[in-house]
Structure 1
Amino acid sequence: MLLLVGAGCTKPSNVAPRVLQIQQNWQLQPGSEIAGHRILGGLGDVSIALDGSKVYAPFAGKVEPHRDDCVVFSSPEVPAYLLRLCGVRRPKLGQVEQGEAIASAKFLQFAALRRQPDGKWAMVEPSTDVLERTLK
């Protein structure tokens, strides 16, 4: 079972981006550039065409900035998991309720991560149920 993140409101400038130590280290990450073109997703991301639709919180939890147009969603309901959501616009940061709109996206890059014993995060296949809750 996995978590979800999204967007919605404005991004407070005083919120520091959440840094994730991901167990798998790939050279190309969302936000990287190649020949002047921005990478939107990478290995481990599920790409979903939303055409501007909203992204919802699958559980009550917290939305934090990550990098560029990415946020991280965490929830005490599933403490061993994080959701990294990239491609989001106008994210609502901070505490959110289950089912609350947290962002919108033209193309959503969805990654589920599970905490490992060493404290790093490993990408895992997202649960269909969590994806459905995120997209309604």
Structure 2
Amino acid sequence: MQSLRYASILLLIVGCTKKPPTEAPREIKLYQNWELQPGQVVGGHAVVSGLGDLSIALKGDAVYAPFDGRVQPHNSSCVIFSSEEIPVYLLRLCGLRSLNFGFLSAGDTIGSGKELQIAVLTRQPDGRWALVEPSKKIIEQMLLR
């Protein structure tokens, strides 16, 4: 009986553990180049957002995929969400935990956290990405299932 109990606990722990991303972080060349970027460290403290990022108090709530798309690692505190439905845009999402990497359907959970820092990037003709104002409609889709 004791071994069955330990096996059940082990199965629960292994089954609930999130798998780390299996791909390398996605590099993005920004059109605007600021010295400090989310994911960097300054004075021993993590930079969690930057110019062009919008911060939202999640209070532990989930963030959902606004479209069918892909979640890729970006740096130590951020991920990139991309979608064929909006191919010239990327969403940089920082501050989330319990992340789901890979391909997601619209409405699937990307992750959750205390705060979300979101930046919307649009592809420029030279291949770099420029920060643009986030769409209220898309942010609402990400916060309400």
**Count of equivalent residues:** 128
Instruction: Give me the TM-score of the superposition, normalised by structure 1.
Output: 0.90
Q: Kindly indicate which of the two structures has a greater share of residues assigned to helix.
A: 2
Q: CA deviation at 1:66?
A: 0.4
Aligned to 2:34: 26
Cα contact 1:11–1:90 (8 A) shared by 2: no
1:105 to 97, 104, 113: 113
Cα contact 2:21–2:101 (8 A) shared by 1: no
Identical counterparts, % of pairs: 54
CA RMSD of aligned residues (A): 1.2
Unmatched 5+ residue regions in structure 1? 1-8
Query: Which digits, 9 at most, give the CA deviation of each residue in 1:68-115, with x for residues without a partner?
Result: 121000000000000000001021000000011110011100000000
Aligned to 1:116: 124
Equivalences for residues 1-136 of structure 1 within 5 A = 10-136=18-144
Q: How many Å separate the matches in 1 of 2:19 and 2:63?
A: 16
CA shift in 2, pair 1:11/1:115, >3 Å: farther
Q: How many Å separate the matches in 2 of 1:89 and 1:65?
A: 12
Q: How many Å separate the matches in 2 of 1:130 and 1:103?
A: 16
Q: How many Å separate the matches in 2 of 1:39 and 1:69?
A: 9
Q: CA deviation at 1:13?
A: 4.6
Unmatched 5+ residue regions in structure 2? 1-16
Instruction: Give me the TM-score of the superposition, normalised by structure 2.
Output: 0.85
Q: After TM superposition, where is structure 1 displaced by more than 3 Å over at least 4 residues in a row?
A: none
Query: Which digits, 9 at most, give the CA deviation of each residue in 1:21-59, with x for residues without a partner?
Result: 111000111122222111110000000111111010000
Cα contact 1:71–1:86 (8 A) shared by 2: yes
Amino acid at match of 1:79: P
